[in-house]
Structure 1
Amino acid sequence: MLERLGLDLPLIQAPMAGTSTPLLAAEVSNAGALGSIALGASNAADARVAIDELRARTTRPFNLNLFVHQAPVADPEREAGWLDWLRSLFVEFGVEPPAALQSPYASLAEDAELLALVVEAAPAVASFHFGLPDAEAVSALHERGVLLLATATNLAEARAIEAAGLDGIIAQGIEAGGHRGMFDPAATDPQLGTVALTRLLVRETGLPVIAAGGIMDGAGIAAALDLGAAAAQLGTAFVACPESAADESYRAALMGPGAYETTLTQLVSGRPARALANRFTALSAQVGERRPPDYPIAYDAGKALNAAAKAKGEHGFGAHWAGQGAPLARAMPAAQLVATLSAELHAARR
């Protein structure tokens, strides 16, 4: 797989929606690893702009990431109750909560225009989170020479990826920042760590495995390779790079004492995701039996609350996604980080 992509380093920069940028991806790809941009929260028009910018910045292979989540089921009563529960916070920041919630973006399974764009673009790699595209989409992308990866958090999901004819599995351990890639968020989550999951998938499947979750330096990449992984995927390690879209409050939180405390929460978006602890994640202690609306409808409320809070100078409601390796983050340009990771990897494998 690495030879096919012509990579100098067995490293994928994770496609972090809202944080990765075409500039970040291009810098990573130009440095010899695989840069990624996330299109899961984009429509086709915005995705085209991002792809065009990325292509203008690099001739190297890159990855386009898509969300294939289950379509949310609207529940006006549940959504109204969720907004009512959050009302006091909106009022604290001088605004009323939204009158109603909408899904801010569609799943790839429902967005034929976005799929057609990705087929047309024919990136070196396309990756999928939250589920799998249908057989027709897999065939169309393979016909264009696209290498296909998908996230698995357990063995059953990995076997589904293999059965669907994809080319590799991203083994997302519980340590990983951002959204868990679970196909069914209502299913029991064994919460396997990166080490156990990577080794399990290497032994039990016939596909290349990319280890993801908690890996922040070259020694971590070396450990993943020693487990049998073909490569490692790092996300939180790139958040502090100047080329990322992380705002100053996100960067400050990542580089501060809060990095030592991350937590899984469904409150922000409606799906389990690992974030730096803040005022939003602390609401878990008060949520009781309430369930947030389906993903990504709940995100509509989360984004509105964060916008209202930021307008008043409060940054504790941002989606500051980060993995458990967050304290190891280093603020440096992406190309320099890739070079540093490469040197650390070679030193660890001598």
Structure 2
Amino acid sequence: MLNRLNITFPIVQAPMAGVSTPVLAATVSNAGGLGSIGVGATDANGARAMIEETRARIDRIDGAFNVNLFVHGSATADPERERVWLEWLAPLFAEFDAEPPKALRTIYKSFADDADMLETLLALKPPVVSFHFGLPSADTLSALRTRGIYLLATATSLEEARAIEAAGINAIVAQGIEAGGHRGVFDPAKLDDALGTLALTRLLVRKTKLPVVAAGGIMDGAGIAAALDLGAVAAQLGTAFVPCPESAADDAYRAALTGPGAYHTTLTPLISGRPARAIANRFTALVEHLSGRLPPDYPIAYDAGKALHAAAKARGEHGFGAQWAGQGAPLSRALPATTLIETLVGELHAVHNRKDQ
């Protein structure tokens, strides 16, 4: 159970690669939750630096934190498909007096293919390691368990949850369709039943024997209470922590959370090549003009997305950023992380107190 981790409050901060920072993760852990850093968008050296900084900032002797990894299938390069994609994006680059990349790269290595990352984790032994997009090999899981590391993995369906259970993972993160950021489906080419957090959490509580952490659309203490009532042992919140000053979100991202787009989040593969929920903006609106085109594989497509965002941002246009956010985005609050944890706990206690009356 998660209480093995000495977490005071049933609050898990989602990893949010590129947004979560060691400062944010450590602050959440120091406040009694489980802070998380996402290292799927960096290499082993970058992960080492983030893990060491997070550990150094946690002032609780028993303070746990989570290191999240992407375990996606290896990208298949398709030069023709990538050329067509870049040609389609070229007029947008031209709008900002920029040229699209000459070719696209596989900018992130899957943990399944990253021996250096595994070596780093085994050496540093973070208290918790979690997986998104799939599971690593049985040998990798065994090595991590031997180091006493608590393991979590994301499931979007009962089928994925059963694979997680069979692999000997300690707990499941039940990611509902409401969740912001990348959808954790193991195989994006398969039919996605798009289960909501409520239905998925209850299904996994009933149909598996593992502790379940509910994730997706949870923004306040009432949402946490609802997840616990469904049988979850904790709730994972991501979008709720984006406005915290400790996150790496830029000013445009923070402003978008309070703008009209926050009421219209959408799942899109256009930015990175895998379905991800983001605040509606100029990039997500391009879906209307796809005309049958498919983005390159993840994370090859992300190379183009990042380049377009950089070109637009340099000219003061922020509508091409990856502003990941869940459906609860309009409920976000710009509070320091410690204050947010205190507020969430107060709201959770208020719900419990009403039930006891």
TM-score w.r.t. length of structure 1: 0.99
- Percent identity, aligned pairs only, is 69
Map residues 274-313 of structure 1 onto 2, 5 A cutoff. Answer: 274-313=277-316
Match of 2:186 among 165, 183, 187: 183
Instruction: Verify the 8 A CA contact 2:82 2:104 in the aligned structure 1.
Output: yes
- 1:45 is aligned to 45
Q: In structure 2, what is the Cα distance between the partners aligned to 1:291 and 1:187?
A: 15
How far is the alpha carbon of 1:122 from its aligned partner?
A: 1.2
Residue 266 of structure 1 is matched in structure 2 by 269
Deviations along 1:137-179, whole A, 9 cap, x unmatched?
Answer: 1111111111100000001000000000100000000000000
- Give 1:25's aligned residue: 25
1:120 deviation in Å? 1.5
Aligned equivalents of 2:280, 2:3: Cα separation in 1: 40
Aligned to 1:2: 2
Corresponding residue SS for 1:149: strand
User: Aligned residue for 1:93?
Assistant: 96
CA contact 2:138–2:167 (8 Å) conserved in 1: yes
CA contact (8 A) 2:51 2:126 kept: no
Tell me the residue number matched to 1:71: 74
1:74-153 to 2 correspondences below 5 Å: 74-153=77-156
Give the aligned residue type for 1:40.
G
Q: Any idea what SS the aligned residue of 1:126 has?
A: strand
* 1-structure distance, mates of 2:69, 2:183: 14
Which residue number corresponds to residue 247 of structure 1?
250
Q: Name the amino acid aligned to 2:57.
A: R
Range that drifts further, 155-164 or 115-124: 115-124
- Could you state the TM-score of these two structures normalised by the residue count of structure 2? 0.97
CA contact (8 A) 2:70 2:111 kept: yes
1:166-177 aligned within 5 A: 166-177=169-180
In structure 1, the residue matched to 2:216 is 213
**Using the alignment, how far apart are the partners of 2:2 and 2:128 within structure 1?**
11
Aligned 8 A contact 2:154 2:173 in 1: yes
* Alpha-carbon distance between aligned partners in 1 of 2:220 and 2:131, rounded to the nearest angstrom: 24
Which ranges of structure 1 fall in alignment gaps of 5 or more residues?
none
Q: Structure 1 residue 2: deviation in Å?
A: 3.0
* Residue pair 2:105, 2:303 contacting (<8 A) in 1 also: yes
Any gaps of 5 or more consecutive residues in structure 2?
none
Task: Report the counterpart of residue 14 of structure 1 in structure 2.
Answer: 14
- Per-residue deviation at 1:115? 1.0
- 2:202 is matched by which residue type in structure 1? R
* Structure 1 stretches of at least 4 aligned residues deviating more than 6 Å after TM superposition: none
Report deviation, 1:116: 1.1
Residue identity in the other structure for 2:136: P
What's the CA shift for 1:103? 0.7
Aligned to 1:256: 259
1:337 corresponds to which of 337, 340, 347 = 340
Q: Which residue type is aligned with residue 317 of structure 1? A: F
- CA shift at 1:257, angstroms? 2.0
**Letter aligned with residue 341 of structure 1:** L
C-alpha separation between the residues in 2 aligned to 1:105 and 1:323?
23
Q: What residue in structure 2 maps to residue 160 of structure 1?
A: 163
Measure, in 2, the Cα distance between the counterparts of 1:55 and 1:13: 16
Letter in 1 for 2:143: A
**Alignment coverage as a number of residue pairs:** 350
**Cα shift at 1:316:** 0.1
1:76-113 Cα deviation digits (max 9, x unpaired): 00000000000000011101100000011100011100
Compute the RMSD of aligned alpha carbons.
Answer: 0.6
2:323 to 302, 320, 331: 320
Distance 2:144 2:348 in 1: 33
Residue of structure 2 in register with 1:34 after alignment: 34
Question: Which piece of structure 1 moves more, 137-146 or 212-221?
Answer: 137-146
Match of 2:236 among 230, 233, 238: 233
